[in-house]
Structure 1
Amino acid sequence: MIRGRAGDGVEKRQCAIAPYCIPPAATYNLTVKSSRSAILSRVRLCRSVLDAIGNTPLVELARITRGLDGTIFAKLEFLNPGYSKKDRIALQIVEDAEASGALQPGDTVVELTSGNTGTGLAIVCAAKGYQFVAVMSRGNSTERARMMAALGAEVVLVDQAPGARPGQVSGEDLALVEERARQITRERGAFRADQFQLAGNARAHYRHTAPEIMQQSGGIDAFCDFVGSGGSFAGCARYFKDCDPAIQCYLVEPEGAAVLAGQAVTRPNHKIQGGGYAMRDLPLLERDLIDGCLQVSDEAALEMARRLAREEGLFAGFSSGANLAAALQLLETKHGCDRIAILLPDSGLKYLSTDLWP
């Protein structure tokens, strides 16, 4: 059964990157197949890189799901300009702050990041003329710090907690980064683009990501999402529930760090970067949106990320593998979850220095 179609009494998408306004391909006397014509008719000139954020493709994972009774749709968020879903929230948070007066011309923006939000904010701040300071744990992959610096950000790296391993960022490590981000914000009188607290994080996905999924898929009956700040889960799940309360929405956490599922933390230093921080209090999460919690091992996340690359040609990161592993769990065990949507949050390019790619 296909549940929840776009436009069922929920907020319509209104933003600078839609509707598209270029004439159809026929205007240019192009001879192309009809499907290609449909794509070309939606292509337009962007006024800046900010107009290129969002409207990412949705791909059916036909090879990985071959022989299974169901469909998995993957939203290619790594095709945003900064190679991750966090470009969306960076733009929303900054524009919200501009609208409220919290962010003024000449101000500095500060935020903690595992690399993706920082990259998104570096792009947005570069395009809008703000200085940006990214505060990140040394445990995250080096590619992210180098990319943010290349985009003009000042990158502050924070040492990990004693005994921590590079590539495995724990909640304790994140607390050290939070402390440093607060200090820099105070010292510089900066605007804190707090992705864990600001509603713009979830709003970006409610207004854009989830409506795109519904329109592109024609309807889904389940959604699962690896949780970091909780923004993409909160925003997408709220939109899906507004479309149809029967759509099932599942949190995804690492095995051994599934505190939202009520489990003891036995492996805080897991390998799935970008989330799974074993934080019990995530302000953006609403409990009524959660239909269940799924756990994924490091090994399963790595295996599924590699399968995405080798079988589907989709070069994505750790959390993409975690989302796929969780979606396959749903297909195999949950009755009625036959059309499942997931995000592929970021690119595999950001993990070339890790053991994700042997």
Structure 2
Amino acid sequence: MAKQYGPTDIKASAIELIGNTPMVALDRIWPGPGRILAKCEFMNPGGSIKDRAALGMISGALANEQLKPNGPIVEMTGGNTGAGLAVIAAVMGHPLTLTTSAGYSPQRAVMMRALGAKLLLAPQVEGVPGKVSWQDACEALRLAESVCKEQGAFYVDQCNNTDNTRAHVETTGPEIWRQTGGRVGAFVAHVGSAGAYTGVSRYLKSQSPDVKCFVGEPAGAEAVKGLPVTKPVHMLQGSGYGNVPPLFSYDTMDGTVSVTDEEAVKYKDLLARTEGLYVGYTSAANVAAAVKLLESGQVPTDAWVVTLLNDTGLKYPE
């Protein structure tokens, strides 16, 4: 008699681990009124929300034949998109070259190299280690463009690639809506490339025009708000470069919330010690922004405010 087995749930590769991350209530940090709910994006295989964009952009490039099977890929990254691309490149067999500023955390560099990516460091010209400015990022961008030309590679171009936004319209936004049963009062997140913020906000507003969406910005680098940049160098790596990202759209925004370095450090510690969640500084700044939003009266006192825990704290030095 043939042996009978039960149903299985086995993923074919790490790529199938991307997305469908859980949502957690931060009731210890914010006991109410209202509620702060956080999407656990650090649980993606590359350790951050950027895995979603990486998959969306590579899938899009293959579909429109900008990228050939096993063809070379080049990108400039702060580290998280690079790690996501490295996961996908390892599984799909694409040679991957990444450029990054020497000022980004060395932990991210270790991960990208371990996943098989060739990593080139651009020198800092304005910031200091752990605090990367827009000028520093531009040095890494110029290096990526040069390498891409030499190799004839597909340049991902996350800051201008609309498949970045599409990935969040098609995955992150619908997951948030489903997990909350449609009870989203507000959404708040800092912007880097702006793919996640714009994609999630666009989807949530398509489901209900009553959802209020807010951009978090580092204090002193509030370009989206329209203020002059007085602090181009801050702790929120991959966010708040002091310019309005090309993928950002003002029709998705109802307001902004400013967060200081000190507030980011405070909430990074609170998340670890009261919620058991060890996340990065921008994730902590997202939670700080959600708290400030509920305290400000800009949303109803009983609102469910959703934000993103972008990446794991293991990607940062202490």
Shorter-chain TM-score range: over 0.9
Structure 2 distance, partners of 1:240, 1:213, is 8
Residues 109-161 of structure 1: CA deviation (Å, up to 9, x unaligned): 01111100000000001110000011100010000011100000000000000
Same amino acid, percent of matched pairs: 43
The 1-side partners of 2:9 and 2:19 are apart by 14
Note if 1:75 corresponds to 2:39.
yes
**Structure 2: tracts of 5 or more residues without a match:** none
User: Where in structure 2 are the equivalents of 1:95-110 lying within 5 Å?
Assistant: 95-110=59-74
| Correspondent of 1:135 among 87, 99, 114 | 99
Confirm or deny that 1:197 pairs with 2:181: no
1:2-151 → structure 2 map (5 Å cutoff): 44-66=9-31, 68-151=32-115
Cα distance in 2 for residues equivalent to 1:76 and 1:187: 38
1:183 aligns with 2:143: no
State the TM-score, normalizing by the size of structure 1.
0.85
The CA RMSD over aligned residues, in Å, is 1.3
Q: Count matched residues.
A: 311
- Cα deviation for residue 319 of structure 1 reads 0.6
Once the 2 structures are TM-superposed, how far is the Cα of residue 88 of structure 1 from its aligned partner? Answer: 0.6
Letter in structure 2 aligned against 1:51: E
Distance 2:270 2:67 in 1: 43
2: CA distance between counterparts of 1:190 and 1:341? 38
Cross-structure match for 1:340? 305
Query: Do 2:41 and 2:309's aligned partners in 1 also have CA atoms closer than 8 Å?
Result: yes
Matched residue type, 1:112: M
SS state at 1:261 partner: coil
**What is the alpha-carbon distance in structure 1 between the residues aligned to residue 283 and residue 27 of structure 2?**
16
Aligned to 1:259: 223
**2:249 maps to 1:286:** yes
- Residue 290 of structure 2 aligns to which amino acid in structure 1? A
TM-score by length of 2: 0.95
The aligned runs of 1:140-289 (5 Å cut-off) are 140-161=104-125, 163-218=126-181, 219-280=183-244, 282-289=245-252
Matched, 1:321 2:284: yes
Shift of residue 272, structure 1, vs aligned partner: 1.1
- Could you tell me how far apart the structure 2 residues matched to 1:323 and 1:335 are? 16
Unmatched 5+ stretches in structure 1 = 1-26, 29-40
CA contact (8 A) 2:26 2:36 kept: yes
